[in-house]
A = this chain, B = another copy of it.
Amino acid sequence: MTSRHIANHRIVLAAHPRGLPTLRDFRLETTSVPLPGEGEVLLRTLYLSLDPYMRNLMDEVGPGYAQPIAPGQPMVGGTVGRVIASHHPGFSEGQIVLADGAWQDHVLADGANLLPLDGLARPSLALGGLGMPGFTAYVGLLDIGQPQPGETVVVAAATGAVGSVVGQLARLKGARAVGIAGGDDKCRHAVEKLGFHDCLDRREPGLAERLAAACPDGVDVYFENVGGDVLDAVLPLLNLGARVPVCGYIAHYNEVAGVGGRDLRPGLLAAVLQKRVRMQGFIILDHYATRHGRFREEMGRWVERGDVVLHEDIVDGLEQAPAAFIGMLEGRNLGKVVVRVADE
């Protein structure tokens, strides 16, 4: 039995958002966590990951692959933390670990779901390119998309946590990587820093025409993470036998059910049919058991060699997480969004 507690700051869901979340949909609370009991570990959160999937957990009806968050419950998210107290034989004070955490500055964990990050020079990368988003890019592009040398791969949110890795892996596999991103600065970053062959600013007019010009041999793999206008622009360019791994559709996450324009579904079916497209949804949670070991090994090597460059957009302070999250949904970040909750 533990009788001592320490203060914990956390951000809870105040209300289910309608459309794009606002700051009023979140609330900062101070609670307390007990010191760890037998087999438990107490972590000080160093970094909190912000990812688009979290938006789906904020709705009253969840996405099926994870529980929705009820008002009053803490926002969930991956964290990197330092062990500040351990009653678990596998973990010692000062160790840095990856946790299935929440938007809070302390985590009480039972040790079973903690992954030690010993020896990782930048532990926050375990939330980005070396973690779930990188693994999503890896499985989606390599296992489902299967780009061949000389093929053309298109990905939007090209400077985001997932898209930036998709483009770099496509290039490593000898494919032509064409990115789409919001803004000229991001496009320059994609080409100059990440090695995309081309990158188009989705805010400029004529995306469909510009994408057609940038993909003179059509599109063999479209890594779908946005939907919307980008999907419209890609569909006519898909080559026969194209592959479309479906990772997300962030352009629609903030749509209010029942509100929308024309029914574009027949056009999607037509493209799938006529181009013999294989469109396959995947949830990265399914693939840890079989593919994560190989991913860590390969991606670790690529990052070490500089073959894959990982850019982070670091925001300081837990209290900034809601604004940073909203900004990410609006595409205001450049690279993987990480909240620095405490200094290493």
Contacts and interface: CB of A to CB of B under 8 A. Distances in A.
A339 to B, nearest CB: 26
Kindly state the interface size class of chain A when it binds its partner.
35 or more
B247 A273 contact: yes
A227 interface: yes
Interface string A233-271: 000000000000011110010010010111111101111
A146 to B, nearest CB: 13
Contact of A274 (B65, B258, B278): B65
A275 interface: yes
A295 interface: no
A169 to B, nearest CB: 20
Interface in A119-160: none
Given A266-B227, A268-B268, A273 B261 contact: no
Given A260-B263, A263-B262, A276 B269 contact: no
Nearest to A249: B269
Contacts of A265: 227, 231, 263-265, 268
A274 B266 contact: no
A328 B290 CA distance: 48
A272 interface: yes
Contacts of A278: 278-281
Contacts of A63: 270, 273-274
Nearest to A231: B265
A224 interface: yes
